[in-house]
Amino acid sequence: MKTTPEILMVDDNPADIDLTSEILAQSKGRFHVNAVTDGVEAISYLRHQGKYAQAPVPDLVVLDLNLPRKDGCEVLSNIKADPALAKIPVVIFTTSQASTDITRSYKLGANCYLRKPGNLPEFVAVVQSMAEFWLGFASLPQREKR
Partner 1 sequence: MLPNPTNGKLRILLVEDEPADVELALRALRQAGLDAIGDVAQTVEEFTDLVRKNSYDVILADYKLPNWNGMGSVEVLRQEGLDVPVVVVSGSLGELTAVECIKGGAADYVLKDDLARLPEAARRAMREKKLRSDHKRAQEELARSNQELEQFAYVASHDLQEPLRMVATYTQLLAERYKGKLDADADKYIHYAVDGALRMQKLVQDLLALSRVGRPGLRVRSTDCTAALQAGLQNLETAIQESGARVEHAQLPVVMADSSQLVQVFQNLIGNAIKFRGSETPVIQVSGEAKGKEWVFTLADNGIGIPAENTESVFVIFRRLNTREEYPGNGIGLSICKKIIERHGGRIWVESEVGHGSTFKFTLPVTAIEQQGERTEP
Q: In this structure, are residues 60 and 89 in contact, taking their beta carbons and an 8 Å threshold? A: yes
46's CB contacts (< 8 A; 6+ apart) are 8, 58, 61, 79, 82, 85, 88
Contact by Cβ (8 Å): 114, 126? yes
Least distance in angstroms from the C-beta of 119 to partner 1 = 5
Q: Using CB under 8 A as the criterion, what x/- string covers residues 99-138 for binding partner 1?
A: -----------------x-xxxx-x---------------
Nearer residue to partner 1 within complex by CB, 19 or 112: 19
Of 6-25, which residues contact partner 1 (CB under 8 A)? 13, 15, 19
DSSP state of 133: I
The residue among 83 and 118 lying less far from partner 1, judged by its C-beta, is 118
Cβ-based neighbours of 19, under 8 Å, separated by 6 or more: 123, 127
Closest contact distance (angstroms) between CB of 45 and partner 1 is 24
Residue 31 vs 123, nearer CB to partner 1: 123
Report 67-106 residues binding partner 1 (CB under 8 A).
95
Look at residue 109 and give its three-state secondary structure.
coil
Binding to partner 1, residues 44-63 (CB under 8 A): none
* Strand bridging mode 32-36 / 6-10: parallel
Q: Which residues bind partner 1 (CB under 8 A)?
A: 13, 15, 19, 95, 116, 118-121, 123
